[in-house]
Amino acid sequence: MNSQLKPIRIAQIGYGYWGPNLARNFYQLPGAELAYLVDANPDALAKAEQLYRCQTTRVITDVLDDPAIDALVIATPARSHYALTKMALLAGKHVFVEKPLAMSIAEGRELVTLAATQGVTLMVGHVFEYIPAVRYIKAAVGAGELGDLYYLYSRRVNLGRVQSDVNALWSIAPHDISIALYLLEQLPEAVSCHGAACLHGQVEDVIFLTLHFPGNVLCHIHVSWLDPSKTREMTVVGSRKMIVYDDVSAEGKVRIYDKGAYRKGDPIYGEFQYKLHSGDILIPRIDMREPLQEECAHFLESIRSGAKPLTDGENGLRVVTVLAAGQQSLDRGGAKIFLEEFMQQAG
């Protein structure tokens, strides 16, 4: 990067659970200046000021009205994302907002349109699309190495960080939904969702979400903050090969199994046979760069170039669409929601 370029001055709103990770990365990245930290907690502000020597405030308008601030990073609870992002876009600021983009399709569409009208960058924090292991899997799927894709399933569970403002669908599932849409490059045709509120009866803390993709490809997502062990795993099953991605593994995050099953024979007479094969297990060497640093750097590059970020507003809207359909299915006792009809009804 040209050292003579003027740094992009950033104000971050929110220094709670995920905020410190974002602040650290933007503080360390060349070409960025973490100028402001906004939070309602005075202790959080004092800590941020000590670490980053940035200005701090509890008043959002301080940064919205400051013409020297180029971009806002929003790391607040999910239900505040829409309102804060809208305020930032109306103020002419570039915006990086953590997932989910919004809590409804209508809100998400409004933000995408507003960013385009204002001519500013809108990027959503779907960090798993920046993970080298996930990108490796996408390349393998795209190259046809797995053969015909049959199904995917993921588990993102642990014990802890129970929330009461949003359920596990909106809190945790955006990660796995974004990975599935990234790998398959399309929206599902239908969504079905079941869940249970085991702890305090207000929001579902365990979710079982199924995405029905074209070509009879299924994706099953299990998320929960009420589970005995921490698991972050996705399996992709094809006719020729299968891939397991284990994000918490200290080594071998991606394992490729040279095994599969495919149908052969004459379909006219129904004389099908099934060919099974089983070969080696490959653990590819993958660069383990910090994905959050990649994501934050990509935001800066998108602002400078004017190019759409990988996880732009449209990307975030697609994830919100699946989440909203999943929520309607959950509210209807697991009914299958067809996305085309659902999106038309959403306006």
pLDDT at 154 over 70: yes
Predicted confidence at residue 1, as pLDDT, reads 46
Q: What are the pLDDT digits (tens) for 186-241? A: 999 999 999 999 987 789 999 999 999 999 999 999 999 999 999 999 999 999 99
Q: What are the pLDDT digits (tens) for 100-110? A: 999 999 999 99
Is the CB of residue 152 less than 8 Å from the CB of residue 219? yes
Is the CB of residue 204 less than 8 Å from the CB of residue 168? yes
- Same fold for the pair 8-128+291-312 and 130-290+323-341: no
The DSSP call for residue 322 is H
| Percent of the chain's residues with pLDDT above 70 | 93
Predicted confidence at residue 49, as pLDDT, reads 93
> What stretch of H or E contains 336?
none
pLDDT at 268 over 60: no
Q: With respect to CATH, is domain 8-128+291-312 assigned 3.40.50.720? A: yes
The domain limits of the chain are: 8-128+291-312, 130-290+323-341
CA distances for 197 relative to 55, 103, 182, 325, angstroms? 41, 19, 29, 19
In a 10 Å sphere around its CB, with 0-12 CB exposed, 13-18 middle and 19+ buried, how is residue 174 labelled? buried
- Residue 72 β-bridge partners: 11, 95
Crossing angle, helix 313-331 and helix 339-346, to 10 degrees? 100
SS3 272: strand
Average pLDDT over residues 37-43: 96
Span 130-290+323-341: which CATH code? 3.30.360.10
Nearest C-alpha neighbor of 275 from the set 230, 240, 316, 327: 240
